[in-house]
């Protein structure tokens, strides 16, 4: 069969897509980028917030048209939306032939052929779960337990010079706004030897930058009673030949220990970059969010990180408009951002999601206030960053080339070690012959300009 896939959502979901593609290829199926020519189409969905659910539904409907207009014979829906709304998807979109939740990644080959590994139709995997309504019905579906390992086939969907490695799956926290524990199951770490073997295999294929991901990367090993496991893992990965950069994403504020910070400071390949979703800075909001932290503990944590990892770049995300948030709470958030000079900030407006504990609260912040507060935070961050970026003109730095800029044939897109792919600002490399550079090349540059969040440099 000729198989096409559309992967939506976060890098964690992308790794699942890469595994499914690897399993499909191992099963003898041909892969295609052309949806119109595919015999089987797979949509790996996201269901974290309303906008992600809408994107997933729109994509499924778009792919469903290929069953009547093209050669598509089977449409498969996988991922978080499939885990959350199994029967409803099939009922409301009858073109769907199979729905596989987050724990059913290995069943993808059976779903492609129409025969599950146990000989049953994949449709027998459907369970109930509300797609809309006031409250979720109890689901008999057990929580997912699957996680891939170093021996699992995987077909990379990223540029060949960087790859995401999922070091754990699931989450044990009960944040009020989040449904991830329901969709992904309890936290479960991969054995370190499996991760290191995967890293070696990726490096042998030309991967230069390894991005370690999970729902809480600093919780790694704690579920296995392995204190200090992340620091040990970083030191082992630092010794892998061929790797140049190792980057940590999705750290949690209460699980960053001194051992991890020491390993970051000592290991030359580990980027001085911390992605730390804090979500808010008002104690009242944090308490309602069920986040285990306060403004005061966050202040101390950020100070400690900067002391232990000199030159560290800090990325964080915030949610505005959570139930009960006041203007005073938003003022505290802005003051916090002004105090700590974050390098990268993302801001989401609160999405009232069924299945979360916050759904029982009144969604009492008007949509226009949510939008205005987000705009205020982003405007503040832009002002703060622009000043710091302009101050960097004249600096020399090392960048990794990602490839040609989509805006200009003679400009390359590159990144500093303090910039993660896809989510952060970039460095535009000009005054050079683009034909001399390939994706994954490292270049010493001089920063010659700043434009918004981005920097401009030349070799």
Asked if 313 and 302 touch (Cβ cutoff 8 Å), the reply is no
| pLDDT of 1 | 92
CA distances from 154 to 23, 106, 250 (A): 7, 12, 22
In percent, how much of the chain has pLDDT > 90? 85
Give Cα separations from 204 to 136, 240, 247, 412, 417 (angstroms).
46, 10, 18, 25, 21
- Mean pLDDT value across the chain: 92
Question: Can you list the alpha helix ranges (DSSP code H) found in 28-138?
Answer: 50-64, 66-69, 80-84, 86-92, 108-113
Distance of CA 26 to CAs 62, 294, 440, Å?
Answer: 27, 49, 27
pLDDT on residue 123: 42
Dihedral of CA 28/32/37/42: which sign?
Answer: positive
- Higher-pLDDT residue of 369 and 126 is 369
Q: Per the CATH hierarchy, to which homologous superfamily does domain 2-125 belong?
A: Methylthiotransferase, N-terminal domain (3.40.50.12160)
How much is the pLDDT for 69? 82
- List beta partners, residue 445: 397
Question: What's the pLDDT tens digit per position in 281-302?
Answer: 999 999 999 998 999 999 999 9
Question: What mean pLDDT comes out for the span 11-39?
Answer: 96
**Which pLDDT belongs to residue 207?**
97
* Cα–Cα distance for residue pair 163/157, rounded to 1 Å: 9
Q: How confident is the model over 133-169, as pLDDT tens digits? A: 433 443 456 888 999 999 999 999 999 999 999 999 9
Q: Give yes or no for a contact between 33 and 2, defined as CB atoms under 8 angstroms apart.
A: no
In CATH terms, the superfamily for domain 162-390 is tm_1862 like domain (3.80.30.20)
| Residue 124 pLDDT > 90 | no
CA distance 281 to 331: 10
Distance set, CA 367 to CA 331, 373, 406, 425 (Å): 18, 10, 34, 28
- Of 77, 69, 71, 7, nearest in space to 38 by CA: 71
pLDDT of residue 140: 52
- 356 falls in which pLDDT band (50, 70, 90)? very high
Q: Tokens 């009922």 correspond to what residue?
A: 91
CATH homologous superfamily of 396-458: Nucleic acid-binding proteins (2.40.50.140)
Per-residue pLDDT at 116: 60
Spatial distance between the Cα atoms of 374 and 381, rounded to a whole number of angstroms: 11
Give residue-wise pLDDT tens across range 171-198: 999 999 999 999 999 999 999 999 999 9
> Where along the chain do its domains lie?
2-125, 162-390, 396-458
* 358-414 pLDDT per residue, tens: 999 999 999 999 999 999 999 999 999 998 999 999 999 999 999 999 888 789 999
Question: Can you give the pLDDT at residue 409?
Answer: 77
Candidates 198, 208, 213; CA nearest to 154 is 198
> Which pLDDT value is given to residue 135?
39
Instruction: Report the pLDDT averaged over residues 293-319.
Output: 96
Complete DSSP assignment for 245-293: EEEE----TTS--HHHHHHHHH-TTEEEEEE---B---HHHHHHHT-S-
């Amino acid at each position: 069969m000729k198989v096409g896939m559309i992967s939506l959502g976060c890098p964690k979901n992308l790794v699942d897509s890469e595994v499914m593609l690897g399993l499909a290829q191992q099963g003898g199926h041909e892969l295609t980028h052309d949806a119109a020519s595919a015999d089987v189409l797979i949509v790996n969905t996201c269901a974290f917030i309303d906008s992600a659910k809408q994107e997933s539904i729109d994509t499924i409907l778009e792919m469903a048209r290929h069953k009547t207009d093209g050669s598509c014979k089977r449409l498969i829906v996988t991922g978080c939306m499939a885990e959350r709304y199994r029967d409803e998807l099939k009922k409301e979109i009858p073109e769907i032939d199979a729905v596989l939740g987050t724990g059913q990644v290995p069943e993808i080959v059976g779903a492609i052929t129409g025969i599950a590994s146990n000989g049953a139709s994949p449709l027998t995997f459907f369970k109930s779960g509300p797609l809309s309504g006031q409250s979720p019905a109890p689901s008999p579906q057990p929580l997912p337990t699957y996680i891939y390992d170093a021996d699992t086939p995987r077909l990379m969907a990223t540029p060949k010079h960087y790859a995401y490695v999922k070091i754990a799956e699931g989450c044990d926290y009960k944040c009020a706004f989040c449904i991830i524990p329901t969709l992904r199951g309890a936290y479960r770490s991969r054995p370190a030897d499996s991760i290191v073997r995967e890293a070696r295999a990726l490096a042998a294929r030309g991967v230069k930058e390894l991005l370690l991901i999970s729902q809480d990367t600093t919780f790694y090993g704690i579920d296995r009673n392995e204190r200090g496991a992340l620091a040990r893992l970083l030191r082992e990965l630092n010794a892998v030949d061929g790797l140049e950069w190792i980057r940590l994403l999705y750290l949690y504020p209460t699980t960053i220990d001194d051992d991890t910070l020491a390993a970051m400071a000592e290991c030359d390949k580990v980027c001085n970059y911390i992605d730390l979703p804090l979500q808010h800075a008002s104690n009242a909001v944090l308490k309602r969010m069920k986040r285990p932290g306060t403004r005061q503990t966050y202040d101390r944590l950020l100070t400690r990180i900067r002391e232990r990892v000199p030159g560290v770049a800090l990325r964080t995300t915030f949610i505005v408009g959570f139930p009960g948030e006041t203007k005073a709470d938003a003022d505290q958030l802005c003051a916090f951002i002004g105090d700590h000079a974050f390098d990268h900030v993302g801001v989401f407006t609160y999405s009232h999601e069924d299945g979360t504990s916050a759904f029982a609260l009144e969604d009492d912040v008007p949509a226009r206030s949510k939008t205005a507060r987000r705009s205020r935070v982003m405007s503040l961050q832009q002002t703060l960053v622009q000043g710091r970026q302009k101050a960097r003109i004249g600096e020399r730095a090392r960048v990794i080339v990602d490839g040609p800029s989509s805006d200009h044939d003679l400009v390359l897109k590159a990144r500093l070690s303090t910039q993660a792919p896809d989510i952060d600002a970039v460095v535009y490399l000009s005054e050079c012959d683009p034909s001399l550079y390939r994706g994954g090349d490292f270049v010493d540059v001089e920063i010659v300009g700043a434009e918004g969040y981005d920097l401009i440099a030349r070799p």
